[in-house]
């Protein structure tokens, strides 16, 4: 591991206490789009179906319209797809991430990086007097 301090900027959009969109949820949306179902997307990402379903449920509850919808039909056509709202939110979120990545070379980023320790100081004890 490098001794150089590093800043890691990460976008997360909140709806109350719930994360409405973050890097992992954006990755899941892309996986659902690619795989055509929540279960296949979960497998491709190495997560359980339940975890993926809970993330999709949270996203769908947080936005004005659902980001993922079930596709009814026979066994070959069943699955899930990203809605038009889901595609829009995903594109806007990825754009925000790109803009944040561009901050890497900014004056503010450099100033924070200079002020940041490479490792934290040890704890001062348990706080007992």
1 within a domain of the structure (yes/no): no
CATH number of the domain where residue 60 is located: 1.10.10.10
Range of the domain at 20: 13-115
| Residue 121, in any domain of the structure | no
List pLDDT tens digits, range 6-18. 778 899 999 999 9
Residue 19 lies in a domain: yes
Contact 70, 53 (CB under 8 A): no
- Give pLDDT, residue 122: 93
26-67 confidence digits (pLDDT tens): 999 999 999 999 999 999 999 999 999 999 999 999 999 999
Of 91, 89, 80, the residue nearest 41 (C-alpha): 80
Q: Is 58 helix (H, G, I), strand (E, B) or coil?
A: helix
Rounded Cα–Cα distance for residues 19 and 13 (Å): 6
Number of domains in the chain: 1
Quick: pLDDT tens for 97-112: 999 988 888 999 889 9
In a domain, 127, yes or no: no
User: Would you say residue 6 lies in a domain?
Assistant: no
In a domain, 49, yes or no: yes
Residue 126 within a domain:
no
pLDDT at 74 over 80: no
Task: pLDDT band for 72, please (50, 70, 90 cuts).
Answer: confident
In a domain, 129, yes or no: no
CA 41 – CA 30 distance, rounded (Å):
8
For the whole model, what pTM was predicted? 0.82
Q: What does the pLDDT read at residue 104?
A: 84
């Amino acid at each position: 591991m490098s001794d150089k301090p590093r800043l890691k900027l990460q976008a997360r959009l909140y709806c109350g206490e719930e994360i409405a969109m973050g890097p992992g949820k954006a990755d899941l949306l892309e996986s659902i789009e690619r795989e055509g179902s929540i279960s296949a997307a979960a497998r491709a990402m190495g997560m359980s179906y339940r975890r993926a379903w809970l993330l999709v449920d949270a996203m769908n509850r947080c936005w004005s319209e659902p980001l993922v919808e079930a596709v009814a039909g026979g066994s070959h056509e069943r699955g899930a797809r990203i809605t038009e709202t889901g595609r829009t939110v995903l594109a806007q979120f990825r754009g925000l991430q790109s803009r944040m990545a561009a901050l890497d070379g900014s004056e503010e980023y450099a100033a924070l990086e200079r002020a940041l320790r490479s490792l934290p100081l040890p704890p001062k004890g348990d706080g007992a007097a």
